[in-house]
Chain A
Amino acid sequence: MREWRLVKRIETNGAMQMAIDEAILIARVRGLVPNTLRFFTWKPACVTIGFFQNIEQEVDVEKAKAMGIDVVRRYTGGGAVFHDKELTYSIVLDERNVSFDIIESYRKICGCIIQGLRSFGISAEFTPINDIVVNGRKISGNAQTRKEGFVLQHGTILMDVDIKKMFSVLKVSDEKIRDKMVKSAEERVTSIKREARKEISLEELERELKKGFEKVFGVKFKEDELTKEELEIAEKLCKEKYSTKEWCFWR
Chain B
Amino acid sequence: MLRIDVEIEGNVIKDIRIAGDFFIHPEEAILLIENSLKGIEKNRVAETINHLLKEKSIKIIGFEPRDLEEVIARI
Contacts and interface: CB of A to CB of B under 8 A. Distances in A.
Nearest to B60: A77
A197 interface: no
Given A57-B3, A102-B61, A129-B61, A75 B27 contact: yes
Contact of A143 (B18, B23, B30): B23
B33 to A, nearest CB: 11
Interface string A137-151: 000000111110000
B21 interface: yes
A251 to B, nearest CB: 5
Interface residues of B, number: 16
Contacts of A143: 23
Contacts, number: 53
A54 to B, nearest CB: 4
Contact of B19 (A57, A75, A102, A103): A57
Interface in B26-73: 26-27, 30, 59, 61-62
B10 interface: no
Given A102-B61, A129-B62, A52 B25 contact: no
Nearest to A51: B27
Contact of A145 (B17, B21, B27, B62): B27
Given A102-B61, A129-B61, A53 B25 contact: no
B19 A77 contact: no
A54 B26 contact: no
Contact of B27 (A77, A80, A102): A77
B24 A251 contact: no
Nearest to A251: B19
A53 B27 contact: no
A54 B3 contact: yes
B45 to A, nearest CB: 17
A50 interface: yes
A44 interface: no
A151 B57 CA distance: 16
B71 to A, nearest CB: 15
A219 to B, nearest CB: 25
Contact of A251 (B17, B23, B26, B61): B17
Nearest to A79: B21
A77 to B, nearest CB: 4
Given A54-B3, A102-B61, A251-B17, A78 B27 contact: no
B65 to A, nearest CB: 15
26 contacts: A50-B23, A51-B27, A52-B19, A52-B20, A52-B21, A52-B24, A52-B30, A54-B3, A57-B3, A75-B27, A77-B21, A77-B23, A77-B27, A77-B61, A77-B62, A78-B21, A78-B23, A102-B23, A102-B25, A102-B59, A143-B23, A144-B23, A145-B25, A147-B26, A251-B17, A251-B19
Interface of A: 50-54, 57, 75-80, 102-103, 129, 143-147, 251
Given A78-B21, A102-B23, 6 more contacts: A52-B18, A76-B27, A77-B21, A78-B22, A80-B21, A102-B59
